Amino acid sequence: MLRLAFVFSVCVTFIFGYPNYQQEIPNGSKVPDPCTNATEDYWPMVGHLFASRGEFMRAQRTAEPGDSAFLNLFGKMFQTNNRNWTAICDMDADGDGQTNGVELGDPYCEWTINAIPYGPATGHPAICEEEVAGCLAGATRSEICPA
Ligand SMILES: [Ca+2]
């Protein structure tokens, strides 16, 4: 019975774990999807290469072991810094010249969990909306957005 409860909790964590990450960054559930440019079209899995859970799950089925998270540059930065928003707010994951804080609506890096962000998210922290010179490899719209 104890084993069954453990398996259940692991499954629940796996299925529902990612939305919890949204709560650990400002505007985590309302990051604009730069691939569609549609108003109120969001990229809920901000730290991953795929916007939707469906795309993510499909990719995981064919992933090599150790490559199943499909983290983008922001996700890797978030993970490397122990999911600490304050530590990465002033950084620029995609290299577009806008800090993560500016893109996620916390330009002064004052946001804390459960607080209302300073403003709305204006961009995706791992995808260069404008492909400027500083964009890092793996951060441009053409590299990440499905054709
Ligand atoms: Ca940026």
pLDDT 10s digits, 66-115: 776 889 999 999 999 999 999 999 999 999 999 999 999 999 999 999 99
Q: What is the DSSP letter of 108?
A: T
* Ligand 1 centroid, distance to 98 Cα (angstroms): 4
Spatial separation of the C-alpha atoms in residues 129 and 141, rounded to whole Å = 6
Cα radius of gyration rounded to whole Å, the chain:
16
Instruction: Say how many domains are in the chain.
Output: 1
* Ligand 1 centroid, distance to 6 Cα (angstroms): 39
Q: Which residues surround ligand 1, an ion (CB under 5 A)?
A: 92, 94, 96, 98
| Mean pLDDT, rounded, of the chain | 87
* Ligand 1 centroid, distance to 53 Cα (angstroms): 23
Q: How many residues does the chain have?
A: 147
Find the domain containing 1 and state its range. Answer: 1-147
Q: And the tokens for 122? A: 């204006």
pTM for the model stands at 0.83
- Measure CA 82 to chain center: 14
